[in-house]
Structure 1
Amino acid sequence: MSEPSTEEEFTARLRALSSRYWDSHPFHLRLHAGELSKDELRLWAANRWYYQRCIPRKDAAILANCPDQDVRRQWRERIVWHDGERAGEGGAENWLRMAEALGLTREEVLDERHVLPGTRFAVDAYVTFARTRPWVEAVASGLTEMFSRGLMTRRLADMRERYPWIAEEGFTYFTTRLKVIEGEGKSTLDLVVRNCRTREHQDAAVAALAFKCDVLRAILDAVDYYAVGGADRTTGRS
């Protein structure tokens, strides 16, 4: 069996997967260039909602599989961030406000009428991965946090400039998420490095992160394919 990588080498292997992140996906490039129609933005928001609503389920699966009390105490805060302490709060609620700012009704987002099969398949596979794989691998899959702050910062600036018709309250998800994402990414990386001490475990962590990158790109593949094929079919609005 191969010797484990050093912490520096292991970290470098994880960071090298940034090229597989979804920031360079054609749909994201069009979004940032201001080239999306209102219907395409609505389609994106409705499909991204399905991913947002499943994140707490993914995190709950990690908690269920993790025997370490300290890790569970740390990780449960993520569920609270997304679900909120009470109704009307949290990251999921803020994403619904984004969808409403784009012109979707809360009802049509919540009933998932616009969620595409490819999106549902990819996100469900991610939840299943977290439920069935060792907890450290599921945590490692979330290391896309290492890559997301730059994309989110750019998205907030570009959407404000390119889509000035979006009300400012629609950006609350991004403004609040930016306050925590960097710290979460650092703590998640430390957790993975600390708990992956064999080459086998390190390889599994790298594979888990690659899988998550594929999940994210698969979501945009579905949205992009449908949008290019006829965005007007999304909501029937201009």
Structure 2
Amino acid sequence: MTDRLSFDEFVKELENARKPKGSIKHPFSVAWANGELTREQLGMWAIQHFYYIDAIPPQFAALYSRMPDMEGRLMLLDNLIGEDMPDAPGKSHPQLLLNFAA
């Protein structure tokens, strides 16, 4: 069994794991940054991205219920609220993508 990481160690490991996976140099990202995508291409991206982010709130909620670390739970809860935007109907990330794709 491995030792449990401290919160700071966990965040550092998470950031290090993500670094090589960035999409900033992907041709689609470059074309977007250069204003070279059509409205149809952006709309299709939004539709595809919707299916990715629509599943995030339930996943975060399940993870939240299993996290033993209070600081980590609060960080995740803040992110979950930002995804669903309960105080601002129509402003959840999935809804914003649907509006963008329309």
Name the TM-score, length of structure 2 as normaliser: 0.68
For residues 1-42 of structure 1, give each alpha carbon's deviation from its aligned partner in whole angstroms, at most 9, with x where no partner exists.
Answer: xxxxxx89x948944752421111111112222222221111
Q: CA deviation at 1:48?
A: 0.9
Percent same amino acid at aligned positions? 26
Report the residue type matching 2:85 in the other structure.
G
Q: Return closer, same or farther for 1:13/1:38 CA change in 2, 3 Å cut-off.
A: closer
Distance in 1 between residues matched to 2:17 and 2:67, nearest whole Å:
27
Give yes or no for the alignment of 1:39 onto 2:40: yes
Alignment partner, residue 66 of structure 1: 67
The alignment status of 1:49 with 2:50, answered yes or no, reads yes
Q: Distance in 1 between matches of 2:81 and 2:46?
A: 22
Contact map agreement 2:46 2:100 (CA 8 A) in 1: yes
More helix by share: 1
TM-score (norm 1): 0.33
Q: Which has the larger radius of gyration?
A: 1
- Alignment map for 1:1-238 (pairs within 5 Å): 11=12, 14-15=15-16, 17-86=18-87, 87-99=89-101, 104=102
Report how many residues are paired: 93
Unaligned runs of 5+ in 1: 1-6, 105-238
Letter in 1 for 2:28: F
Q: Tell me how large the CA RMSD over aligned residues is.
A: 2.9
Give the number of the structure with larger relative contact order, counting CA–CA contacts within 8 Å between residues 6 or more apart. 1
